[in-house]
Structure 1
């Protein structure tokens, strides 16, 4: 247990030195939506308008903590959520800003609802309705509890 704590502390200190930005769910909630019609789907979807602060972070390395959700049986869609699975975005608790699509360099052995800290490159998505508004690429992470 002591070794895990020291390892986590080392990672936090070393990643802080690299200059990534620590995001909170409150930061990600600074987003407005309008409805926009997508002809390919013959339907309206929520179209995001990201805050200036978030737009300035596009392409930069950020860290966010949350609940790990591996919701796809094929392991192709992994999410970092503000809430655990039983009360996540898909269950009607919160909007799209409460979930981030995460794409790992190498998929870790986390389990659903593990509390984790994920670091990756922030990508903002407005137009591809088959992906989340927030996407982290080239991710790495570790379990917090």
Structure 2
């Protein structure tokens, strides 16, 4: 192979690898290490605890993130599932964990329905919820299942 072809192929390979976005792997210990700020909520007419995210979590905002946990189906269409740090019997809904131990997974494509407590890994864009009381603190958008 002549020198010109070698340079072009090397440049193309470098270019593609530079644009490929590696996912940041995180875990529930990181996601649950948050503080809370009490604020009055007019809709509830009460003080509510809102998240105060750590710098490590803020650095992941709007980035591609991988996280694994226990699936809790919440949408009959299968387009959205909850992902929990704990199995359903010990999850946030049951009062045995905090609100930072669960996240919304908005799937890019609906391929199948998940069984409760299936342990899966997902990759998607992490969006942080600062003040919507009707949504979890973490939302993984355009998510795809990754093989564990």
Q: Once structures 1 and 2 are overlaid, which stretch shifts more, 96-105 or 70-79?
A: 70-79
Q: Give the drift of 1:71.
A: 2.9
Q: Any stretches of 5+ residues in structure 2 without a counterpart?
A: 1-19
Over the aligned positions, Cα root-mean-square deviation in angstroms equals 1.7
Question: Between Structure 1 and Structure 2, whose CA radius of gyration is higher?
Answer: 2
2:55 maps to 1:52: yes
Q: Which residue of 2 aligns with 1:134?
A: 138
2:33 maps to 1:27: no
| Structure 2 Cα separation of the partners of residues 121 and 82 of structure 1 | 18
Question: What number of residue pairs does the alignment pair up?
Answer: 128
Q: 1:108 to 1:99 in 2, by over 3 A?
A: farther
Q: Any stretches of 5+ residues in structure 1 without a counterpart?
A: 1-16
Q: Which residue of 2 aligns with 1:61?
A: 64
Asked if the contact 2:37/2:49 (under 8 Å) is kept, the reply is yes
Structure-2-length-normalised TM-score = 0.79
Structure-1-length-normalised TM-score = 0.81
| Structure 2 Cα separation of the partners of residues 22 and 122 of structure 1 | 11
Q: Where do residues 1-145 of structure 1 align in structure 2 (5 Å cutoff)? A: 18-73=21-76, 75=78, 77-109=80-112, 110-142=114-146, 144=148
